[in-house]
Amino acid sequence: MKTVKLAYGKSGMTVDVPDHAVIIEPRHVKGLVDEKEAVRSAIRNPIGTKPLREMVKSSDTVAIVISDLTRPTPNHKLVPWILEELSHVPQDNFVIINGLGTHRANTREELILMLGQQVVDSIAIENHDAFDDDKLVHVGRNSYGSDVYFNKTYVNSTFKIVTGFIEPHFFAGFSGGPKGIQPGVSGIKTILDFHNAQMIGHPNSTWGVIEGNILQDSATQNCLMAKPDFMLNVTLNGEKEITNVFAGDVIEAHRIGCDFVKESAMYAVDQPFDIVITTNSGYPLDQNLYQTVKGLSAAAQIVRPGGAIISASECSDGVPNHGNYAKILQMRDTPKELLDMINDPAFSMFDQWQVQVQAMVQLKADCYVYSTLDNETVEKAQITPISDIGKTLHMLIEKYGPSSRVAVLPFGPLTIPYIR
């Protein structure tokens, strides 16, 4: 046996696995020696735009869109560095928009954790609300027939900046870039169209795919209707250190960033595995069961039909207790019935996309979750709760036989495993 450390919560955990188990993790990329200087250099020498400071007038109203607390984007670094670069703009001219999509609003304490006390005390901050029509404005209609509504404050600002980080994404191919705007600051009607069953179920709506990915194309079309004037995205390693910086045009710079991530995150295997142990990359990505679906989806890329997936995901924020994820899961008795319900064009409810992906994974493999949630809560989500990963692994090896193929994704969806 050998011991593997898994990204779990803030502190991690270890698990003993057979010596023949294959460990699948991103190629380690060292953190930048001087993160601040790298960011400053990127925004002064951007891709596809003029330097940031040259683009912004002192009279501009500047909107900075950030990722919420469920993402590890280092907002506490990026935002102050942007403000420093734009020191010629009065502080009253800035507004930070927390790009929540359909997630809950972050509290003042959480915003301080995300941005730092000084920024929270000195800059206006707006938690985006996708459900308040009065705070949205119609900006157009995309080629998929979706009416696009965005945050009114964002649209009305005279200079728009979107921040974020780039990682593999389970149906948009990669995060970052246009996804900071769609679904970050879009309205619920637009978000429902963006995540509808046909979009999520498309074969190219998957990890690491940009070309031909209709979800990424939809995000791009929508984003360009109120295009950010400047993008600042970073990449991170397993220790959440900044490894590279991509700044400038929201499409051009993002695509270059995706190529960089693909080089470090793609991992080819020759054949599927009987058992895959995964995580959800630890805190903050493993805060709830809703987000845990991403780690399950990553493992599903290489598990054999009829195999098993074990996920270690802390879920310190619960299921969570907001949104429709838990409600939808209880509308039917099996993953197959849930999938049939969601695929009915007459069905439309926000958060259905997460249930759809989960059900697709469950139709392929049995799913087990180790978390801080009580058993009843996990069972209501139609997933099997476990209290000991080692014992569950031993049970599954007995079930599948001593020659069972086992893989471990210590950093979960930070790796894109695929079968050659």
Please say if the pLDDT value at position 259 is more than 90: yes
Q: Is 141 helix (H, G, I), strand (E, B) or coil?
A: strand
Q: Is 310 helix (H, G, I), strand (E, B) or coil?
A: strand
The Cα 228–Cα 251 span in angstroms is 10
Identity of the amino acid at 218: S
What tens digit of pLDDT does each residue of 202-250 get? Answer: 999 998 999 999 999 999 999 999 999 999 999 998 788 999 999 999 9
What pLDDT is recorded for position 131?
Answer: 95
Q: Identify whether the C-beta of residue 218 lies closer than 8 Å to the C-beta of residue 175.
A: no
Which of 10, 45, 27 is CA-nearest to residue 232? 45
User: In which band, very low, low, confident or very high, does the pLDDT at 282 lie, cut at 50, 70 and 90?
Assistant: very high
CATH number of 2-26+270-419: 3.90.226.30
What pLDDT is recorded for position 69?
Answer: 86
User: In which band, very low, low, confident or very high, does the pLDDT at 168 lie, cut at 50, 70 and 90?
Assistant: confident
The residue whose two tokens read 């270890």 is 14
Looking at per-residue pLDDT, the higher value among 58 and 414 belongs to 58
Return the structure tokens found at 182: 């769609």
Please say if the pLDDT value at position 70 is more than 90: no
Q: Is the pTM for the entire model greater than 0.75?
A: yes
Average pLDDT over residues 86-109: 95
Average pLDDT over residues 8-19: 96
Looking at per-residue pLDDT, the higher value among 377 and 170 belongs to 377
Please say if the pLDDT value at position 81 is more than 90: yes
Return the structure tokens found at 24: 């699948």
Q: Identify whether the C-beta of residue 222 lies closer than 8 Å to the C-beta of residue 10.
A: no
What pLDDT is recorded for position 358?
Answer: 96
The Cα 79–Cα 88 span in angstroms is 15
Looking at per-residue pLDDT, the higher value among 37 and 239 belongs to 37
Domain ranges across the chain: 2-26+270-419, 35-264
What pLDDT is recorded for position 263?
Answer: 86
What tens digit of pLDDT does each residue of 294-320 get? Answer: 999 999 999 999 999 999 999 999 998
Which residues 6+ apart lie within 8 Å of 152 measured at CB? 135, 136, 137
The Cα 171–Cα 183 span in angstroms is 13
Which of 79, 52, 392, 70 is CA-nearest to residue 234? 79
Q: Identify whether the C-beta of residue 104 lies closer than 8 Å to the C-beta of residue 322.
A: yes
Looking at per-residue pLDDT, the higher value among 38 and 420 belongs to 38
Write out the DSSP string of 40-106. Answer: HHHHHS-BSS--HHHH--TT--EEEEEE-TTS---HHHHHHHHHHHTTTS-GGGEEEEEE-TTSPPP
Q: Identify whether the C-beta of residue 281 lies closer than 8 Å to the C-beta of residue 412.
A: yes
What tens digit of pLDDT does each residue of 100-157 get? Answer: 998 899 999 999 999 999 999 999 999 999 999 999 999 999 999 999 999 999 999 9
Q: Identify whether the C-beta of residue 56 lies closer than 8 Å to the C-beta of residue 263.
A: no
What pLDDT is recorded for position 136?
Answer: 98
> Is 35-264 in the same CATH topology as 2-26+270-419?
no
What pLDDT is recorded for position 28?
Answer: 83
What pLDDT is recorded for position 74?
Answer: 95
Average pLDDT over residues 403-420: 92
The Cα 10–Cα 348 span in angstroms is 35
What pLDDT is recorded for position 27?
Answer: 83
In this structure, the number of other CB atoms found within 10 A of the CB of residue 162 comes to 30
Proportion of the chain above pLDDT 70, given as a percent = 100
What tens digit of pLDDT does each residue of 320-372 get? Answer: 888 899 999 999 999 999 999 999 988 989 889 899 999 999 999 999 999 99
User: In which band, very low, low, confident or very high, does the pLDDT at 415 lie, cut at 50, 70 and 90?
Assistant: confident
CATH number of 35-264: 3.40.50.11440
* Start-end of H helices in 208-266: 214-224, 252-265
The Cα 74–Cα 241 span in angstroms is 9
Average pLDDT over residues 13-21: 96
